[in-house]
A and B are shown apart, each in its own frame.
Chain A
Amino acid sequence: MIQLAFYGFAALTLVSALAVLLTRNVMYAAFFLLLTLLGVAGLFVLASADFLAVAQIMIYVGGVLVLVIFGVMLTSKAGSGTNTDSQRPNQIPSPNRIGNSWGMALLVSGGVFVALYTLLARASFALLNQPVGWESTIRTVGRQLMTEYIVPFEIVGILLLAALVGATYLASNRLTR
């Protein structure tokens, strides 16, 4: 049962990631990214990281993806209608050197995958033979955040504040006038 759920979530993740790669519409890519992030959240649950799965759904699906969809809508040209011509700003144009470019990029990424796969197939991690327990990690996460990781926690809070203030300043209209 667990195996079946794992294969389902893994297939959801990989297929929708491939759809992000293959689709030509930026809006469809954003929605396939939503499916990918949900699949990754399911994989987190199966790896007994329940807090991280909920955080993944809240941060990525609730925050980052909404930002991405706002970005897609704000960077499409004005005067949108229902005909296909007005959707062209969302289309990814195919340049005339498309064969060469796809070949090179697929060579690089496929080479990375083959290298990682052979590495993982040959490696024998002694850690992975231990038994694992299924218990909630929320208590441990809270304890670790307040003891061992207190300094990174504060630093990342300041980083998030600075990034959000900077993002609102950058996105404001004052810079262009």
Chain B
Amino acid sequence: MQSVDSHLFLIVGAALFSIGLAVVLLKRHAIVVLMGIELMLNAVNINLVAFSQYDPDRIQGQMLALFVMVVAAAESAVALAIVLQVYRHFRTAQLDELNELRQ
């Protein structure tokens, strides 16, 4: 079975990383910014997996991608809890309007 050229995986990963970066920079809703971070983590995972298929004995890239996924799940759980508290405090989740530190 003929495989896919791995450069294409790397290019798709680069494009996905750029789109995730644009989402993080542009959007003002806190949850959408978290989605952009997830997109960037997925782009990195694509790169790791694309290189890992040439290493079938140790698959170090896939192991690292697995740990990245677990850390991303933990990160999103904590971040969404923080967003929830921020929403309860400020009654908004738009990052532009969170501009005071006092109670």
Contacts and interface: CB of A to CB of B under 8 A. Distances in A.
A67 B57 contact: no
Interface of B (DSSP majority class): helix
B98 interface: no
B72 A120 contact: no
Interface in B41-82: 42, 45-46, 49-54, 56-59, 62-63, 65-67, 69-78, 80-82
Central interface residue in B27, B29, B51, B78, by most chain A CB within 10 Å = B29
Interface of A (DSSP majority class): helix
A81 interface: no
Interface size class of B (residues with CB under 8 A): 35 or more
Interface residues of A, number: 83
Interface in A14-29: 14, 17-18, 20-21, 26, 29
Interface of B: 1-12, 14-23, 25-32, 34-36, 38-39, 42, 45-46, 49-54, 56-59, 62-63, 65-67, 69-78, 80-85, 87-89, 91, 93-94, 96
Given A10-B8, A47-B53, A160-B73, 13 more contacts: A2-B1, A2-B4, A20-B32, A21-B22, A21-B23, A30-B31, A49-B49, A59-B70, A67-B77, A68-B34, A75-B83, A149-B63, A170-B81
Interface of A: 2-3, 6, 10, 13-14, 17-18, 20-21, 26, 29-30, 33, 36-37, 40, 43-44, 46-49, 51-52, 55-56, 59-60, 63-64, 67-68, 70-72, 74-75, 77, 92-93, 95, 101-102, 104-106, 108-110, 112-113, 116-117, 120, 125, 127-128, 130, 132-135, 137, 140-141, 144-145, 148-149, 152, 156, 159-160, 163-164, 166-168, 170-171, 175-176
